[in-house]
Amino acid sequence: VDCCVERRRLAVRPALLQRLLAQLQRCGTSMAELRAAGLDLPHHASSLTAIEQQAQNWRQEAAQLEAAHECATSQEHHEALSGELDDLLQQYNRLCDEAGSSLPAPAALGVLCDRLGELDQQFERLAGMLPQAEVAAEGQVVRDALAMLCQRFDDAATGDSC
């Protein structure tokens, strides 16, 4: 979800949002089946309502996301991805500042790894559309940062120090 929420529309892959929406809808369907089978708990009903509302919000966002992607130029995609990369690197730096001499929390690093993995896919696709050295260089920065953050994640998850 962190790869989609509060991100630049052009930096979110429509297929990812559709996949998350499908999972949310499956969860809602399962919960509705439990309710139809007789489950009558107050928190269950309110959770089902919340899931249905979130699915509706994501369907609307998916439509807007698709429209934005269809109308955007390759250069606009590149600018959005570059902005996301800058944001991610700044967020990593803030995490490190907050952690001091310790490693940042694995959960926070995992989110950054997921987002960088998404950016890597998109920079690869963009490299085929824009034969610019800058796109290739940024793609390499993404891959290097992803490798570093994955190592930091592994270190933090296992309690190893750098």
Average predicted confidence (pLDDT) for the chain:
88
pLDDT at 151: 92
Mean pLDDT within 89-116: 90
pTM of the entire structure?
A: 0.80
Question: Is the pLDDT higher at 2 or at 97?
Answer: 97
Question: Is the pLDDT higher at 147 or at 161?
Answer: 147
- 8 phi and psi, to 5 degrees? -65, 135
Task: For the chain, give the percent of residues with pLDDT over 70.
Answer: 94
Q: How confident is the model at residue 131 (pLDDT cuts 50, 70, 90)?
A: low
pLDDT at 159: 78
Mean pLDDT within 7-31: 91
Q: How confident is the model at residue 104 (pLDDT cuts 50, 70, 90)?
A: confident
Q: Please, which contacts does 82-85 make with residues 24 or more away whose CB atoms are closer than 8 Å?
A: 82/138, 83/8, 83/11, 84/7, 84/8, 84/11, 84/115, 84/119, 85/119, 85/138, 85/141, 85/142, 85/145
pLDDT at 132: 72
